[in-house]
Amino acid sequence: MKRLANKVAIVTGAASGLGKAIALAYAAEGAKVVAADINEAALSLLKKEINDTHGTITTVLANMAMADEIDNMVKTAVNTYGTVDILVNNAGVMDDFSPVADVTDQLWDRVMAINLNGPFKAMRSVLKIMLEKKSGVIVNIASIGGLQGARAGAAYTASKHALIGLTKNTGYMYAKLGIRCNVIAPGAMDTNIASTIDFSKISALVNERIMPGMALNPRSSNPNEVANLALFLASEEASFINGAVIVADGGWTAY
């Protein structure tokens, strides 16, 4: 039997990069995928790709900074498939590497809204479903920026540290109620997240303090390499893994 047979999985940021790789992997293993993203055209391409391989998918437009769109995403899953078994909070944006003194309210609020508030609200919504049936899995996508201080700017770093803390609290609090919550901390990855960075705002201080460490990165991952980990964590093979931070960075943080 396929590892996620008949499971209903919401994947955010599913139209490209890691989210797309996770959606494809889940569908190939039998999940009914609810793919959420802000890019309608890319969602349509993903839907065709999964349909062409006889997978099951429903797409929904959802901006993780908008509470009503998060609610609609979860309602779409329930109305279409009857429940939610798996939530993958993958959608996220980078900052511009700004240290605290240079962070604008606009940048801070945008990064926190998408990287932290959105996952929190999605978790709160699906947990009501999971707690009722005493079963469910949440996989959050953080970053090694959530473990260390110089992989991004202050806003992104704070958002991913907070997401890791939220994951640990959730995994611990609901451990006896059939729910697991884990977080993946990827290193550099070949995705389009760099398109969310305004490189024109990178300062001399950032070039001095952060950029030299980038040269220590052994390599960037293919999204499929991290998607395989997300597949494992969602499956029963990971039944005793809960509240954990799993690093997938090719050894970058081992230095």
Please give the positions annotated as active site.
156
164/180 Cα distance (integer angstroms): 14
13/139 Cα distance (integer angstroms): 13
Dihedral in degrees, nearest 10, Cα atoms 51, 52, 54, 55: -40
For 171-186, b where at least 16 C-beta lie within 10 A, e where not — what string?
Answer: beebeeeebbbbbbbb
Tokens of 121: 């609200």
82/132 Cα distance (integer angstroms): 13
Q: In what order do the strands lie in the sheet with 179-186?
A: 56-61, 32-37, 8-12, 86-89, 136-141, 179-186, 245-248
Q: The tokens 């494992």 sit on which residue? A: 232
DSSP conformational letter for 189: B
